Chains A and B, each alone.
Chain A
Amino acid sequence: MSTTITKAGNRPLSAYLYKRAKLRLFSLLALPMFWIVGVYILSLFLLLVTAFWFVDPFTSKVIVGFTLDNFVSIFTVPAYISTSIRTLLIALAVTGLSVLFAVPLGIYMAKIAKPWVRNALAVAITLPLWAGYLVKIIAMRLVFTEEGFFNWALAPFGLSGPTFSIPIVILTLTYLWFPYMALPVFTAIRQIPPNLFDASSDMGAKGFTTIYRVVMPLIVPAIIAGSVFTFSLSLGDYLAAKFTGGSTQMIGSIIAANINLNPPVAAAFSMVPIAFVVIYLMVARRTGSLERM
């Protein structure tokens, strides 16, 4: 009895907050809300406001004002339109390629591999995440140079590997973001009860039918979760295009080129990937898979 009294006496803060529900809620949310609103949203908002400003043609200084020209240029300059479409297609290709690699790998790891193989593969997938992002891009650059690994390996067969171009950008981005797809897919497949596979085969389904009819529907939420990463991260990237794309221009390249030269256009262009991701999430929501994430 006496111990509980001393305990309560030792925790004046808890006692104080216990009586004040609103203050309790405030103290719980103050820090994350400050982060989300004060740092995250505010900085984004300030960036986006710049999109309505313009640049003095004489001194190329940014003038605070209101114009929609920057947005109009996104839809009227042919180079901008083609860059947006190219970037969208690259991001979709990266996502598709990641799914193509992640599903068979996930099935093998979760259902077939011995525990030590599974662990080794899990480490192999996550290991590249430990290396710097730029290091990995430069590594891809070195591998695909004219005198790099691929040409060296293909030379005995009289072949030469691809030079820096859009396919290499897709490969590089897939290399960068693959773990974000592989891990959720692997986890989702692991959670499928083994007896579902037995049931499927009892009903006469062969391997591919089981994957298509049983596994895929169950892991769609994981694929959507992974694709949000692979898709949105690819949309915003420009270093992969810069180092492995040859003359490939992506949305990020335009933003990077304009960030000092014409900040309002850069800000307006940063809306494009945002719009793409919002549309993507809305489509994903319609499939109902966001609720099950």
Chain B
Amino acid sequence: MMGKLLRQPWVYSFGAAIAVWLATIAYTEGQGAGAILTAALSFATFTIIVGLGQMMVITTGPGNVDLSIPATITLSGVIAMKVMDEDTGRMAIGILAALGAAAAVGAFNYGLIRLLRIPPIIATLSSSFLVLSTAISYGRGIRIKPPEPLAQFAGAQVLGIPIMAVAVLALSIAMAVVLSRTVYGRSVLAVGQNSRAAWLAGLNAGRTRFVTYVLSAFLAGVCGILLSGFSRGAALNMGEEFLLASIATVVIGGTSVAGGRANVPGIWGAALFMYLLVTMLNTFGASAGVRLILTGLMIIGVIVLAGGEEQR
């Protein structure tokens, strides 16, 4: 039983998250133990949302990655806030507009990859310049506040558990079911493992990838709307830190970078680990240099541990 558990790649990211949390509260002598977890859950949810999208993209095979996530988060946040313009009655239309724009970015990304045959890493990077420029020119006057219900939803807690974390848990379970039980999810795995074999088996690799890129951009859009609700306003640099975070959570969480194997629970462990790690180093009063070095070393450590399984 224990051996079986240890072979699950996601166990390591959770283990690391718990270890870091224990180290933090040992240092504070127990003070704020619960509050730190609440904060970690609140902030990790954003990383989890985009991490799920990035996971699907990476799973569709070597070379597939979405670098336009930060720009899409910003665009969606800016559009949502601007269309809603602090008016509760316009919330629905704002959400639709933002998600529509985000999905369009995903479709555009795939268009660049498929029609113009540009490698995904270049295609999504260059489209992110276009997207960010659009956000800047559309958004000029930026930090517009969200309507109150949106802000309240994004910040609401019950007994120290953020409502949003519960919603994202439901989303994660849905993603896990999609991956293992639906034709689309299985196609993602099959295409990622061997694109040609999947094609010979009659799967449409093109359509699978198209849906995946749109899904990733769509989730980035969701993240943008929620984030601008949570931090009460959209800003042009709001997506910046999610580029590395989205990829790191996927990798630390045990999803195969070569594609074909996804891991949903690992995203949670990794996102919590990354947040708690920074919290721990802040609490210890480590200087920025030390913090960056330790963050790098610990990420490498977890990946080495989690990647210890035998090669196939």
A, B: real partners: no
